[in-house]
Amino acid sequence: MSFQVFGIPVSRGVAIGRAVLVASSRVDVAHYFIPATEVDQEYERLMRGRDAVTRELQALKTDLPPDAPHELDALLDVHLLLLNDDALVDAARHWIEERHYNAEWALSAQLEVLARQFDEMEDEYLRERKADLEQVVERVLSALAVAQDAALPGGAAAVVARDFAGEDPLLLVAADIAPADMIQFKRSVFQGFITDIGGKTSHTAIVARSMDIPAVVGTREASRLIRQDDWVIIDGDAGTVIVNPSPIILEEYRFRQRQSELERARLARLRHTPAITLDGQRIELHANIELPGDAVAALAAGATGVGLFRSEFLFMNREGELPSEDEQFEAYKAAVEAMRGMPVTIRTVDVGADKPLDRMSVNELRHEHVLNPAMGLRAIRWSLAEPSMFRQQLRAIFRASAFGHVKLLVPMVAHLSEIRQVQEAVKRVKQQLDDSKQAYGEIQLGVMIEVPAAALMLPQLLKHVDFISIGTNDLIQYTLAIDRADEAVAHLYDPWHPAVLQLLSSSIAQARAMGKEVSVCGEMAGDAGFTDLLLSMGLNCFSMHPSQIPSVKQRVLRADAHRLATALPRILESEDPAKTAAEAFAPHQRLH
């Protein structure tokens, strides 16, 4: 039966493929693909796990005291029957052979199939046996985890692709994808994804855009309604998910998919074209990256620098261990050298809120115990609370600056005292490097404007820094008091809100008036729908995911920045800025 699920469109395009469900579990489950040569070996591993639990249950039956309730003995019999039923472990072989799932993933997938069958049973007693089935599966998963010391880390959403040999495209369906798992996701075979939660600027959405693959988030029910191996269409433009589509619908979306691929190829031809407006203004289009290897994609997309190196991704998936100074140095150096003399802006570690680490503070604070992590010990606050860690990162960044043009960016600044503490830490680090005779270059210091307080006190901040970078994602979130990852209030997250536009426009104007560099590195920078607006505000440096550069460059090449600027006062004074901007910019767009 075909049906639709609706959510929030966060990455454009069409993806068609088989659903791969990563369901949550009380037991952490590693999900990865196995090589074809290891199928038999993986099934044997699953059988060994099943046999180990069988022996365990049989031992429990044998050791029951004479006065034990009869129901307990009967319950163990039920678990043994379920465990040895062909519909469970034997049927899981299908997922190993056909989809190359590892044993844990195959068992979890089969559990979901059977659990839905139990849910559809009319007999109440039989429906309740689903809980017994789940307990049996969790026992087997635990046995597999004990036997597999080298199991992949990361929990329920950790998905890594290795030598996948299947023919059908795959789409990931999950309740959510943790930020710590995004690096693994970026290396996967998935051509699109669907999540139950999230908003337009949640980190799952940002990763989808960075991979240039279609995605829909905030569907609420997708992971419950979609079944393993269902054929699914993701319409990343409309925010629609079509499950088990009819042949006519499937063919229509395949046509749209081909058209999208042709458009990408056409935009790719702009790679070496300088981004210069019709009235002669040169616009810098920089890239946002997470790992040193992303610099290659940045260059391939035509980026003229790295406007944001999110260093926190070096700190994730490490089971509580922080990267050493040398490890960080090598990573920063690799990115700097890859950019061949172009500027690389490295943001100091920005953890907390929706990007927790295993180790979050001097007191080993855990993310889930924080009442409001978005307002808590995060970003520069965390760095200043961990002075030795912070100085270690600064040393690594300064050492890398000897190999190219490096800029230092401090996130979530709200107080002048924070800038002074950073400057003091920089002074101390430079002295340490001088004492140890280690080379370093000159580094410009900048701050992110993400907190309304920083935007409102910008004239004071600008006296102490060389440049600013406006993080529109958090600036909108904090200005409107909207959790950008919460689909329940996602409709209130509005980049066109008059207050947001006032803060954005005034920040750009004040920085330029004081002769300081200013860029926008939030999602607005990579959305071609905001390019004309940002140009009208006088912005000349955009930083975005490499995949977004071609479409923004095309918009820049067709723009007359001086003419766009004449419409800005009317937009800022409007009660409906989005409508006013569309009317003001439309004639200009038609001319070109």
pLDDT in tens, 332-384: 999 999 999 999 999 999 976 555 565 444 343 344 445 566 778 889 999 99
- pLDDT on residue 69: 63
Mean pLDDT for 82-88 is 87
* pLDDT band, very low/low/confident/very high, at 158 (cuts 50, 70, 90): very low
Q: What is the pTM of this model?
A: 0.72
In Å, the largest CA–CA distance within the chain is: 92
* For the ranges 77-81, 98-102, 513-517, 545-549, the one whose mean pLDDT is highest: 513-517
Is residue 164 very low, low, confident or very high in pLDDT (cuts 50, 70, 90)?
very low
Q: What pLDDT is attached to residue 452?
A: 97
How would you list the strands of the sheet with 170-174, edge to edge? 3-6, 240-243, 231-235, 14-22, 170-174, 193-195, 215-217, 8-11
Residue 310 phi, psi dihedral angles, 5° rounding: -75, 90
**Residue type at position 62:** T
CA distances from 423 to 305, 391, 455, 560 (A): 25, 11, 20, 40
Burial of residue 561, with CB atoms counted within 10 A of its CB: 0-12 exposed, 13-18 middle, 19 or more buried: buried
Mean pLDDT calculated for residue range 519-523: 93
Weakest mean pLDDT among 219-223, 477-481, 558-562:
219-223
d(CA 332, CA 194): 33
Q: Give the pLDDT confidence score for residue 406 in this predicted structure.
A: 98
For residue 276, give the 3-state DSSP assignment: strand
Tokens of 7: 């959510």
Quote the percentage of the chain above a pLDDT of 90: 54
pLDDT at 161 over 70: no
Catalytic residue among 286, 521, 541, 545: 521
* Structure tokens belonging to residue 149: 């010391």
Residue of 248, 144, 145, 208 lying closest to 15 (CA atoms): 208
Task: List domains and CATH numbers for the chain.
Answer: 3-22+157-265 (3.50.30.10), 31-151 (1.10.274.10), 279-591 (3.20.20.60)
What's the pLDDT score for residue 71?
A: 66
* pLDDT band with cut points at 50, 70 and 90 for residue 6: very high
Percent of the chain with pLDDT over 70: 85
Q: What average pLDDT score do residues 448-477 get?
A: 96
Answer yes or no: 541 catalytic: no
143 token code pair: 């046995």
Convert the pLDDT of each residue in 279-308 to its tens digit: 999 999 999 998 898 999 899 999 999 999
In three-state form (DSSP H/G/I as H, E/B as E, the rest C), the secondary structure along 51-78 is: HHHHHHHHHHHHCCCCCCCHHHHHHHHH
Most confident of 7-21, 486-500, 543-557: 543-557
The pLDDT value recorded for residue 199 is 78
Question: What are the tens digits of pLDDT across the range 205-217?
Answer: 777 777 778 999 9
Quick check: is 521 catalytic? yes
251 by Cβ neighbours in 10 Å (0-12 / 13-18 / 19+) ranks as: exposed
| pLDDT score at 68 | 65
The answer to which of 47-61, 366-380, 418-432, 445-459 has the lowest mean pLDDT is: 366-380
Specify the pLDDT at position 157. Answer: 40
Say which of 203, 405, 545, 588 is annotated catalytic. 203
Residue with the bigger pLDDT between 31 and 542: it is 542
Asked whether 391 and 423 are in contact (CB, 8 A), the reply is: no
Q: Is pLDDT at 560 greater than 60 in this prediction?
A: yes
pLDDT band at 125 (very low <50, low <70, confident <90, very high): low
Average pLDDT, integer, range 192-216 = 79
